Amino acid sequence: MTNISGASSGSSTTRRGRVVGVPMVCWCGAEIVGKISKSDPNPYRRYFRCAFAVSNKLMDDNHVFKWVDEALLNEVDRLSSEAKRLEQMVRESEIVFDGAEYEKMVFDKVLMKVEEEVFQKVESVVSESQRYMKKRMIVGIVVLYDRCWVREFHMM
């Protein structure tokens, strides 16, 4: 794994572990950059490399290096396996909706959404009413206090 990309093939490993798929960050925390090989064995072959290793021109180090074509093949294999796993789950679950079950499911979802909207509107009205009542109570207390003060002032 050199910065001039002399390695022709093989799995992309580092001393920190094997990189499967398209690398996102290096073990050191640096981002991954795309580069193009200028070596004789691999001219113009694209690869992923740790930005720290690139900026410091490190060679034969343990920072991430992976050929783009290998990384993409890893991703295709991973996605293919995931698709097979999901297909198997669907087959095993045997979810079969007839017309009535589907309509009931849709109705339940719509009903839940309507209930949520009504609940939110009721909460809004209640909180507005509470604010209004607090204001009225404060005004009432101020008026009562003012009247009591005026009576005491006139009685003196």
- Please tell me the predicted confidence (pLDDT) of residue 119: 86
pTM (predicted TM-score):
0.48
- Of 2, 15, 132, 120, give the one whose Cα is nearest residue 57: 2
Q: Tally the residues of the chain.
A: 156
3-state secondary structure of 3: coil
- Check pLDDT > 80 for residue 51: yes
What is the tens place of the pLDDT at every residue in 7-37?
A: 444 445 454 667 788 898 999 999 999 999 9
* Count of Cβ atoms closer than 10 Å to residue 33 Cβ: 16
pLDDT range class, residue 152, cuts 50, 70, 90? low
Q: Judging by beta carbons within 10 Å of its beta carbon (0-12, 13-18, 19+), is residue 47 exposed, middle or buried? A: buried
Please state, in angstroms and as integers, the Cα–Cα distance from residue 82 to each residue in 74, 87, 95, 146, following that order: 12, 9, 19, 76
- Please tell me the predicted confidence (pLDDT) of residue 17: 64
- Distance, in Å, from the CA atom of 45 to the CA atom of 41, rounded to the nearest integer, reads 9
- Distance, in Å, from the CA atom of 18 to the CA atom of 38, rounded to the nearest integer, reads 24
pLDDT range class, residue 66, cuts 50, 70, 90? very high
pLDDT range class, residue 153, cuts 50, 70, 90? low
What is the tens place of the pLDDT at every residue in 99-146?
A: 677 788 888 999 999 999 888 888 888 888 888 888 888 888 887 777
